[in-house]
Structure 1
Amino acid sequence: METQKNNPLHGVKLEQIVTELQAHYGWEYLGYNIKIKCFTDNPSIKSSLKFLRRMPWARTKVETMYLEYLRKNAK
């Protein structure tokens, strides 16, 4: 557990990440910044999670955006 104490994503589920980002930014902004269909064409949490779990490159982009969101809101 000691190796994870500085990892802000440790213990945070992907569903929580997508839900928080969608609530804060909205689907349009997410789709504009991360160009994936699950954010632009008939977006939903369920379809986004399904896609992000299969595509590590997209998940990395969403996690990076979430970390930026956390940094901005920590101030």
Structure 2
Amino acid sequence: GIFEKDHALSRRFQKIDVTEPSVAETIEILKGLKSKFEEHHSVKYSASALSTAAELSAKYINDRHLPDKAIDVID
């Protein structure tokens, strides 16, 4: 990639590992995004809808990570 070819550029960055948020943390993230998605889709999301989106996406969508897969469910 680019970093392997440009050592000066690679020195300006460092790797940061970001762990996948828990279902509870994902619910909080969804709460923060709720109004934007409600406005965009002209719908209202209940608290249980956000919880269910996080819980079921964690259980059944295995090829992606939270919160991305839960966001796709409400989108």
Would you call these one fold, judging by a TM-score over 0.5?
A: no
State the TM-score, normalizing by the size of structure 2. Answer: 0.39
State the TM-score, normalizing by the size of structure 1. Answer: 0.39
Relative to its length, the structure with more helix (as a share) is: 1
- Greater CA radius of gyration, 1 or 2? 2
